[in-house]
Structure 1
């Protein structure tokens, strides 16, 4: 049963409160109004499709000390030898230390796109050896071995020389961009 004292206390506390209109809604703090047009615009447009075709599915594992090497058909042996020996100037670098597989997947794909857009022919990707992990599995090294083979713009790659990171890094040789190919063709036509 409700005490008269409790009822009078409650009446005093709620005195002056007005009933909300039926269609009014309380949204919390008053402040700047929210611009819902931006949200509506984002919701009505289709999300951008991820063009990155590199997968994070299972890959064949390589050991921490394994040497990575790959050469597409058509790459001259002398060119591959110079790449393997680290005799080409490195024009760009990507460091994947402390990255998850998904972060590395995105960064490798974007890095290759950026290299092609900027006419870079030789780059180095530092992935680490993977010998400090509890199971000594070179996870990023294994994925990078697969991803670089799957990218059309990559002509060849090889584990780096000791002074560039050894088995924890890889030299990458890219295709010439259309612009560089045209410049090279024009240069040789003038002879």
Structure 2
């Protein structure tokens, strides 16, 4: 039986010539990844990119177009909040989000507030519109703005604007002092204490 198998094997191998060299040589040229590999690498790199914008695009509680917005962090004095609510502070900067997509509005609001805080601007007006005709639900952008503002640590208080500043289509925002303003405030109070 073994002779039959050996004879069969030799018959099959009769036309095979031995290799002149049996060492495996490295492939010549550069390795080029396939398109699928390139796409996977790009997707992985984008996932690893750090996005400092922490404002959530998750579920939002929908508000009505005429629903007032009020927000105040603990520690904000009632008189300060009342003046903000009544529109008594000078508005130092305005952001217009009308007609923006949610992702654009999210990005612009985040960087606008970050920039204003760095520059020491404290009282802002955000124009978001009432959203009566927004689809698929009324006041979608307005609802997200109401959700996002309290998520930003430097936002001390917010309130629906007075009629002359846009009413329900706009929101007043009060930011905390930046590090430089806090330092100046401490110096001012320490000088007053030293004069007494």
State the match for 1:97 in structure 2.
Answer: 98
Residue 110 of structure 2 corresponds to 109
Q: Deviations over 1:92-126 (max 9, x none)?
A: 11000000110000011101110111001110100
SS of residue matched to 1:80:
helix
Map 1:98-137; keep pairs closer than 5 Å: 98-133=99-134, 137=138
1:145 matched to 2:132? The reply is no
Does the alignment pair 1:79 with 2:80?
Answer: yes
Provide the residue aligned with 1:170 in structure 2: 171
* RMSD of equivalent CA atoms: 1.6
Unaligned runs of 5+ in 1: 1-22, 24-42
Q: Distance in 2 between matches of 1:142 and 1:182?
A: 36
Residues in 2 aligned to 1:182 and 1:79: alpha-carbon distance in whole angstroms = 20
Secondary structure class of the residue paired with 2:174: strand
1:190 counterpart residue number: 191
SS of equivalent to 2:67: coil
The 8 Å contact of residues 148 and 154 in structure 1, kept in 2 or not, is answered as: yes
Cross-structure match for 2:11: none
SS of aligned partner of 1:190: helix
Q: How many residues align?
A: 148
Which structure features the higher share of helix residues? Answer: 2
* TM-score of the aligned structures, taking structure 2 as reference length: 0.72
8 Å CA contact 1:64, 1:136 repeated in 2: no
